[in-house]
Amino acid sequence: MWKSAARRTSLRRRRLFSSSAAPNVADTIYALSTAQGRAGIAVVRISGPACLEIYKALCPTKVLPKPRYASVRTLYHPQEPSTVLDSEALILHFPAPRTVTGEDVLELHVHGGPATVKAVLSVIPLCGRQIRYADPGEFTKRAFFHDRLDLAQIESLSDTLDAETEQQRRAAVRGNSGALGRTYEAWREELLQARGEIEALIDFSEDQHFDESPTDLLDNVTAQVEDMLRSIKAYEDGSQRSELLRNGIRIALLGPPNVGKSSLMNLIVGREASIVSGEAGTTRDIVEASLDIRGYLCSFADTAGFRSDASASEHSDLNSGPVGAVEKEGIRRARQKAEESDLVIVLASVEVGTDGPFIYYDKETLKLAATAESAMVVINKADTGLDLEEQLAAFRQVISQEIPALTKTGDLITISCKEARVPPPSTAARRHRDPGRIQDVVSTLVHAFSAMTELPVDMQDLLGVTERQRQLLSQCREHLEDYLAESQAEEGREADAVLAAEHLRYAADCLARITGKGEAGDVEDVLGVVFEKFCVGK
């Protein structure tokens, strides 16, 4: 049965790749697999039936190297035997089918000078017929065609090539084991089997004896579907965490004017991304900057200072005049950015008024932070030299009473952007000090990032779930929920087995579009989406 299923999959893929959009596997393809430009070594990859013919043309007097063993060869021009292309190229031969593409593969590791690379690439089409330069992602397409990779692994490979941070790399590696694809395919096979049993019951219930009644059969399938729904929910949650690693964690800096939002952002980012001035309201629009913080990709947004006409009159010594139309628009955009962010940093500051020191903050920013997935509160200008314990205790009381949801974020962090901008007097001091406690903010951020993205050890593979997979899993879940609604009909109404079977078919088709297997009609379109970002030579 399994061999028959494998043959059907192979035939389906052959039909799929016979279209004009698919690669012609009768062709031998080649491409430069390393980056363009001057380098020590350049790797030219060749895949297809003419690999041995190409080798004999480039190395006419040497025997083929032992499979998977590197050998040094001199490469000659195939039409001008006296012309040497590279006197010390490293050759690797990988015979089918145990290769990256499932075909014969030849790799030429040549000297990386542009002239040498150009000379070698220009003569390869002269070594035989039906030899052409590869299309983007065509080597990986052939790996899919020959069942060397499934679509989940291919998406993970794409993420690996695009990874810029350590956490992105780790998430991509998790999806490359093939475990995701095997799970999706097992779910699909389970749904197909359940659907087949229901349809057999529909077609032959009057002529054949079944061990289970229709009700018992639907109940058994329902139990399987409920288990699958729980698993799918876990995979959807894993996708949300992995998307934070792939696309970056969005961070919004909120607070009233002139509390140091721009200064803090510049210190964390390490450059002058925002204008810093003693004048209140310097930032009116949103200033964004991306960076890698200890392996996590982050996007910081410095927003306009929050204040209203009421707060302007309340802190007349800190605010300049009424809130104008432009400032109101800046505050609106800041509010929207906070609602879209994954983490909110609320800034307050220590100020000294006529009655002594006080904590200057905006209540609306605290309320926005309370609704965010993760938040932290930072108090700037802690360099006054005054005893602030009384003011900090009062501020904690405000948070616990008015916005209790923020108490989960832990204690307040006091910093001094002013001290952080002044370098320590000696190298030893720089090594052992954290001027202004900016690194405390960074460490707290990293702890929050870990909490937002980590998964138990036995669920680490879920970090490989991509957004495309999550969308299809969501559709699959909806079809399974429709099945449950139909199979668990209201009392007095018999479940429609035909409709229930159709819901299972739709759910299985969603899983087929994830793996590229099965008979889903738009799998070819799915391949286009998956491969569109691949580079030539991969």
- CATH number of the domain residue 66 falls in: 3.30.1360.120
In a domain, 385, yes or no: yes
DSSP per position, 113-138: -HHHHHHHHHHGGGGSSSEEEPPTTH
- For residue 164, is it within any domain? no
pLDDT of 68: 94
Cβ(205)–Cβ(214) below 8 Å: yes
Q: Are residues 332 and 444 in the same domain?
A: yes
How far is it, in rounded angstroms, from Cα 329 to Cα 269? Answer: 26
- Structure-token pair, residue 303: 């927003």
235 part of a folded domain:
yes
Contact (Cβ atoms closer than 8 angstroms) between residue 30 and residue 45: yes
- Do residue 9 and residue 145 come from a single domain? yes
- The region, left, alpha or beta by phi > 0 then psi within -120 to 50, assigned to residue 102 is left
Sign of CA dihedral 494, 498, 504, 506: negative
Q: Of the candidates 453, 477, 504, which is a domain's last residue?
A: 453
Residue 402 confidence (pLDDT): 74
Element (H, E) at 332: helix 325-340
CB 503 within 8 A of CB 138: no
At 245, list the tokens.
């690693």
Pair (209, 340) in one structural domain:
no
Same domain, 26 and 89: yes
What does the block give as tokens for 308?
A: 């209203």
CATH code of 306's domain: 3.40.50.300
Encode pLDDT of 356-395 as tens digits: 888 888 888 888 888 888 899 999 988 877 778 888 888 8
52 located within any domain: yes
The predicted structure's pLDDT at residue 2: 36
**289 and 384 housed in the same domain:** yes
Please state, in angstroms and rounded to a whole number, the distance separating the CA atoms of residues 69 and 74. 16
CA-closest candidate to residue 45, choices 5, 87, 100, 83? 100
Q: Supply the DSSP symbol for 404.
A: G
140 and 89 both lie in a single domain? yes
Chain-centre distance for alpha carbon 345: 24
Regarding whether 339 and 190 lie in a shared domain, the answer is no
CA distance 345 to 252: 6
Nearest alpha carbon to residue 452 among 167, 94, 88: 167
Let me know whether 393 and 470 are in one domain.
Answer: no
Full-model pTM: 0.75
Number of structural domains (the chain) is 3
Count other C-beta atoms under 10 Å from residue 517's C-beta. Answer: 23
10 Cβ contact partners less than 8 Å away, ≥ 6 residues apart: 147
Same domain membership, residue 415 and residue 275: yes
91-128 as b/e: b if 16+ CB within 10 A: bbbbeeeebbbbbbbbbbbbbbeeebbebbbebbbebb
- Is 117 part of a structural domain of the chain? yes
Asked, for residue 206, whether it belongs to a domain, the answer is: yes
DSSP H or E stretch at residue 252: strand 249-254
- List b or e across 47-82, with b for residues whose CB sees 16 or more CB atoms inside 10 angstroms: bbbbbebbbbbbbeeeeebeeeeeeebebbbbeeee
* Same domain? 90 vs 217: no
Q: Tell me if 64 is assigned to some domain.
A: yes
Q: What tokens appear for 86 in the block?
A: 């590279």
Are residue 433 and residue 295 in the same domain, yes or no? Answer: yes
- Taking CA atoms, 118 is separated from 85, 113, 135, in Å, by 10, 9, 18
> Contact at 8 Å (CB) between 508 and 109?
no
Domain boundary among 150, 166, 192: 150
Q: Structural domain of residue 223, as residue ranges?
A: 174-245+466-515
Q: Are 356 and 431 part of one and the same domain?
A: yes
Residue 461, domain member (yes or no): no
Q: What is the largest CA-CA distance in the chain?
A: 95
Cβ neighbours, 10 Å, residue 15: 11
Tens of pLDDT, residue by residue over 482-498, are 998 887 766 556 667 78
Q: Report how far apart, in Å, the C-alpha atoms of 322 and of each of 19, 254, 307, 316, 361 are.
A: 66, 20, 9, 10, 18
Domain's final residue, options 116, 150, 184:
150
Question: What tens-digit pLDDT sequence spans the chain (538 residues)?
Answer: 333 444 444 444 444 444 444 556 689 999 999 988 888 999 999 999 999 999 999 999 899 999 999 999 999 999 998 899 999 999 999 999 999 999 999 999 999 999 999 999 999 999 999 999 998 888 988 988 888 888 888 888 888 888 888 888 888 887 777 888 889 989 999 998 888 878 777 665 555 555 555 666 777 888 899 999 999 998 988 888 888 888 899 999 999 988 888 888 888 887 655 444 444 444 556 788 888 899 999 998 888 888 765 454 455 455 556 667 777 787 888 888 888 999 999 999 998 887 788 888 888 888 888 888 889 999 998 887 777 888 888 888 888 887 777 766 567 889 998 888 876 565 544 545 778 888 899 999 999 999 898 888 878 888 888 888 899 999 999 999 999 888 776 655 666 778 888 899 999 999 988 887 765 545 555 666 666 666 766 6
Q: What is the CATH number of the domain that holds 509?
A: 1.20.120.430
Q: Within 13 Å, how many C-alpha atoms sit on residue 479's CB side? A: 21
